[in-house]
Structure 1
Amino acid sequence: MDLTEQINQLEADLQELGTLLEKAERKRVQELLKQEQKKVEKEIAVKRQQKEQQARREADPSAASKATYTVKITNYAWDQSDKFVKIYLTLKDVNKIPSENVEVNFTENSFSVLVKDLGGKNHQMTVLNLLYPIDEKDSYKKIKTDMVLIMCKKQAIKKWECLTKVEKQAKDKDKPAVEENADPSDGLMRMLKKIYSEGDDEMKRTINKAWSESQEKKVRGGDMMDL
């Protein structure tokens, strides 16, 4: 089966998955179908890239000696406005290649970037499981000097804490657990110990003095601690 037929089969699969998703009522089934859609979409993108490379080799046999390899894009930053999440990809001279060489595909929960034939390489980035859904139809790219700007349109005006759900889970995991019946004074003591260990000599003297005074009050029947 040649690449064209493989792409056609994958596109048919994707269409059928969409039909099944419209009919699915169970949330778990919907999630499984969406995951499969993402896999098929990625496979289609890879096959299309292979087909384009094959077409270039056939059109210019000498190009085979100029094998183009793909590298991951790692140099990027992001910020946001009320309506958009903005991803900045730093790629030297990207503004000097044809704009059609910069392909960006959006889904509700992901986006992928493929910059072809820049500096003798392809540059690729795929971000899955975005923190919140985006509107793929109103999302777009901008090509600037040495930079590609990805504009992901938010479905809802909401502040994003991070870019993906995986990053959110990692942040939540790092948060200290709070026991339901914990003594509030325990938290205060932990905080004071942390300040004491990280503070300078003056800070330590201040805390020691406050602690001594609080203990004296406790002995006299006063408050347990009064800073």
Structure 2
Amino acid sequence: MDLNHQINQLEADLLELGTLLEKSERKRVQELLKQEQKKVEKELIAKRQQKEQQTRSETDPSAASKAAYTVKITNYAWDQSEKFVKIYLTLKDVHKIPSENVEVTFTERSFSVLVKNLDGKNHQMTVLNLLYPIDEKDSYKKIKTDMLLVMCKKQTTKKWECLTKVEKQSKDKDKPSMDENADPSEGLMSVLKKIYAEGDDEMKRTINKAWTESQEKKLRGEDMMDF
């Protein structure tokens, strides 16, 4: 089975998994489908990159001898507009290499970057499990001075609170837990303690001042914590 056929099959699998996920109602089934979707996306990215390398070697037989070692891109920043999520990768002199050396591939829930032969190295980055689906056909790249901009087209116009589901799960774990049967004042104290622990000196002074004033009001019989 050649690479083109494998890629076509994986693309068809990914499309069908997306359809099944939309129709499924049970949470366990949805989680299983998402896991399989993630596996297929990774395999598809790998096959596409393999196909590109094969094409290069056929076009330039000496390419194999010129291959550079690959490093991962781990530092990035991201922003968003109503229609796009924008990922900024700082890569010195990226604008000086041939544009065909900068490859970005997209799937509905991921994107992969491969910058070849920049400063004697290949630079690679893969982001899986995006928070929301993107339109891979309308997503694209922009090469700027010392920077690569990855433009992920949102399928739905909505604000993303983070880039991936992994980040969201991490943030959710950091949130104070709220017991519906617990005393509301205990929940407030938990939030205040977290803010105090993570705040700077000015924030701590503000909380200390507010707490002192609230205690004084309590002694005078006034309402507590009205700051």
RMSD value, Cα: 3.3
**CA separation of 1:89 and 1:95: change in aligned 2, threshold 3 A:** same
Listed as ranges, the gaps of 5+ residues in structure 1 are 218-222
* Structure 1 position 204, deviation (Å): 4.4
Asked whether the 8 Å contact 1:109–1:133 carries over to 2, the reply is yes
Question: Mapping of 1:6-155 within 5 angstroms?
Answer: 7-8=3-4, 10-11=6-7, 13-14=9-10, 17=13, 21=17, 27=24, 28=29, 30-31=33-34, 33-48=36-51, 50-51=53-54, 54-55=57-58, 58-59=61-62, 64=65, 67-155=67-155
Q: So what's the TM-score if we normalise by structure 1?
A: 0.77
| Paired letter, 2:81 | S
1:207 pairs with 2:203: no
Q: TM-score, normalised by structure 2?
A: 0.77
CA distances 1:184-211 after superposition (whole Å, capped 9, x unpaired)? 22234456667888744x9746634541
Aligned-partner Cα distance in 2 for 1:85–1:34: 21
* Partner Cα distance (2:76, 2:13) in 1: 33
Q: 2: distance between equivalents of 1:19 and 1:196?
A: 48
Q: Work out the CA distance in 2 between the residues paired with 1:101 and 1:203.
A: 53
Secondary structure at 2:137's aligned position in 1?
A: helix
What's the secondary structure of 1:179's corresponding residue? coil
Following the alignment from structure 1 to structure 2, what is the Cα–Cα distance between the partners of residues 133 and 76? 20
Larger mean Cα displacement after TM superposition, 6-15 or 97-106: 6-15
Give distance in 2, aligned partners of 1:203 and 1:44: 55
Secondary structure of 1:115's counterpart equals strand
In 2, are the aligned partners of 1:215 and 1:225 still within 8 Å (CA)? no
Residue type of the alignment partner of 1:155: Q
Between the two proteins, the alignment pairs up a number of residues equal to 214
Alpha-carbon shift at residue 76 of structure 1 (Å)? 1.6
Deviation, structure 1 residue 164: 0.3
Which range is displaced more, 74-83 or 38-47?
A: 38-47
Offset from partner CA, 1:155-200 (integer Å, 9 cap, x none): 1111111110000010001101001111122234456667888744
SS in 2 for 1:112: strand
- Secondary structure of 1:123's aligned partner: strand
Aligned residue for 2:148, secondary structure, equals strand
Residue in 2 that maps onto 1:168: 168
Indicate the residue corresponding to 2:200 in structure 1: none
Partner Cα distance (2:36, 2:194) in 1? 48
Q: Which has the larger radius of gyration?
A: 1
How far off is 1:51 after superposition? 2.8
> Matches of 1:164 and 1:195 in 2, distance apart?
25
* Identity, % of aligned positions: 56
